[in-house]
Every structure is written in C-alpha cells, then in structure tokens.
Chain A
C-alpha cells in the first residue's frame, strides 16, 4: 500500500472485501484511473487517513482524494459513520463520495442521502456490469465533474 505522503491521491477506495477491491482496481486501471489509487480496508483507517491523524499523522492534510469510493458494510467503523464524519467537516465535505454496496436496503439508501452522499451504487453480480459501473463513476468524478 503506497505511502502517499508526496504523491497526490486521486481515488480513495475504502473496501473490506479483497475480491471486490481487486475487481474494482482492475476496472479502473483499464481506463488509467488506478495510478494514484489508495486502498484501505476499514472505516477507522479511512478516517485516520482522510484527517491525517493516528497512523497517518505525517500525511499532508491538504492532500485530499478527488473522489472516495466507499463500501457500506465494513467492520469496526462502517461506511455510514465514515460518510457522516467526512460530510460534517468543512474541509472534507466537498469531496465527492460514491457509496458502493451490495445493499439495496431502502434504509441504507435514505441514510446515505441524508448524510450527503454524492452517488449510491449497488454492486451487481455480473462482473461486466460491475466494471462498467465503476468505470463510468471513475470517469465522471475524475474527469467530467469539476470540483473546487
């Protein structure tokens, strides 16, 4: 896992499932979006990383990801909690967050949007469709969408 002290992080992928992470990274690398991708496996570490504290206190806090791909169901600190913290901080709340999840639960959907998620995507079983979805999202938030 790269120590992105100096490299500018583009995509932060927070995903506890190894297979899903591999598939996601592969899909993104096909459109050259995986070069500056940081992959973290749980919500607690993700928060430490984003706010440059704990394990990541040597990180430059100004070096924020351009988009965060966030899984919902994770051990320790789950996706919704991470989302809440990100969106309630003045500096980090402008980062676009894409929640990717296996859950189609209405309550998760509502909770995410109430917390200010930018996109909510349900991970399909079909790899092709999964790749297409990831790629579209990656391209949109990295290339098409203009963020401050």
Chain B
C-alpha cells in the first residue's frame, strides 16, 4: 500500500541514489578529464619526437650526400693518379733505353781503348739502368692492375700450379727444389690474375730457398667456410715478423739486394689482386726456417 511514509522513504532512497550517481558521474568526468589531459601531453611528446627524427633524417641524408660526393672525388683522384703513374713509367722507358743502349755501344766500340777501371763503371751504369727498367716495368704493372676488371671463371688451381712449377724449373734448371703438391681446389676468379698470384708466391718461395741445400716448397689448400684457403710454404730464409706490416707494401723489402735480388713489388701485386677478388692474404714466418703464405678466395 502506498502510504505517505512509504512515498517519502522511496523519494529519499531515490534522492540518495541520484546523489550517489551524480557523485560517481563527477568522478568519472574528473577521471576522463585527467585521462584526456594525460593523452594530450603524450601526443605533444610524440610530436616533438617526430620532429627530432625528421631533423635527424635530414642531417643523415645530407651526410650521405657529402660522403658520396667525397667518394666520387676520391675515385677520380685515384684514377688520375693511376693513369699518371702509367704515362710516366711508360715515357721513362724510352730515354732509359737510350742511356742503356748508348752505354753498351760505348763499351762495344771502344773496348780496346778503354782503361780497365772505366769498364767497371760502365758495367755499373748498365746494371743500374737495367734495374731502373725493371722498377718501371713493375710500377707499370702495379698501376695497371687497379684499372683491370676481374673476370669470373672457374680456375683449375692444380694444373695452374703444375704449369708454374714447370716454368720455374725451366728458368733455373740447375736448382734442385722439392715441390710437394697437396690437395688443391678450383677457385673462382680471373685466370690471368690468379696465375700472377701463384706465380709470384711460388717464385718468392723459389727465390728465398736459394741458399738452402735442401729446398722444399709445399703448396696445398683446404675448404674454409664458403671459400678456399690455399697456402704456399717454404723452408727458406724467412722474414722478421717484427716488420711483417711492410711485407705487402709496394717496393718494400725485408731483405737487402745483396742477399736476395728483387724490387719488392711481387707481394704488393698479389695483395692487390686478392683484394680485388674479395679475398684475404696473410702469412707467418720464422727467420732462417721459412715462411708460409695463405690466400683465401671464393670457391667455384
């Protein structure tokens, strides 16, 4: 029964409920407001971060442009230098040939009239001009290398090495050298350049074992990763590890001309070729006991 007391009671309850709901609504509004404020701050932070990134991006792009410009400047400079050293060495050979030639003519035509002392001096002139010719040839070869492009073919290392050994034996038939040929694997690269590599390494081994009674040169290879490591080991004079960083320098030598003849370009050429093939070269040695040179190159 709806009595007036009941109505009042009901009204009061509803009033309380409404008041509570209002209070809750206020809280929720307050919460929403603070959440919105929080979001606004975060958005501002993100916008600032994006701005920073954009600036960094721009800086990076600028740097890349500068680096590319510098790289192409350097490329041009290197090419110019190489073509310069090519022309210079090429042009130097002609007058050198004249010096060598006319000195020889002097000796030939006036041999009888020449005092004994002078013959020695003439020989020295001839020896030195010949040496200079060799240096120029080496410089020419070295500077031309950089301009050559690498052709990719599968090279039969074993037969190449056998040919080189035959050539070495022909050049110095009197020398008794023991060649040990171990496993050799085909290599992918430029046939002519690779022949140069192995020729230089074997020729060095041949040369620096020149003073040993029992010269032994071993050549072999093994698979390593996705490439082949080939080594040439000799039991010759070896080199001082203290100066190992000069080993592959152009015209750098670790032995005197009296001990062993040479211009110091052989290993520099080898290193250049190996680098062109994306490979690596390293070595170790013990003075008086020999040296081992390793080259790693891609497999076929």
Q: Which residues of A contact B (CB under 8 A)?
A: 17, 19-20, 23, 26, 102-104, 123-128, 130
Contact = CB atoms under 8 A, between A and B. Distances in A.
Contacts of A20: 94, 97-98
A102 B129 contact: no
A102 B101 contact: no
A125 B129 contact: yes
5 contacts: A19-B95, A19-B101, A23-B102, A125-B97, A127-B103
Contacts of A102: 90-91, 93-94
B133 A19 contact: no
B139 to A, nearest CB: 12
A101 B121 CA distance: 30
B164 interface: no
B101 A130 contact: yes
Contact of B98 (A19, A26, A128): A19
A130 B133 CA distance: 13
B90 A23 contact: no
Interface in B71-102: 90-91, 93-98, 100-102
A126 B94 contact: no
Contacts of B97: 19-20, 23, 123-127, 130
A71 B100 CA distance: 20
Contact of A127 (B93, B101, B136): B101
A64 B98 CA distance: 30
Contacts of A104: 140
Contacts of B129: 125
A20 B99 CA distance: 11
B105 A125 contact: no
Nearest to A26: B105
Given A124-B97, A125-B129, A126-B97, 6 more contacts: A124-B133, A125-B130, A125-B132, A125-B133, A125-B137, A126-B133
Contacts of A126: 97, 100, 130, 133
Given A125-B133, A126-B130, A19 B104 contact: no
A17 B133 contact: no
Contacts of B95: 19
A127 B94 contact: no
Contacts of B105: 26, 127
A26 B129 CA distance: 20
Contacts of B91: 102
Nearest to B100: A127
Contacts of A125: 93, 96-97, 100, 129-130, 132-133, 136-137
A128 B136 CA distance: 18
Interface string B115-133: 0000000000000011011
Nearest to A126: B130
A128 B104 contact: yes
A92 B150 CA distance: 40
Nearest to B98: A19
Interface in B142-189: none
Contacts of B93: 102, 123, 125
Contacts of B98: 19-20, 23
A23 B97 CA distance: 9
Q: Which of B93, B95, B140: most chain A CB closer than 10 A?
A: B93
Q: Which of A23, A103, A124, A125: most chain B CB closer than 10 A?
A: A125
Contacts of B94: 17, 19-20, 102
A127 B98 CA distance: 8
A133 to B, nearest CB: 12
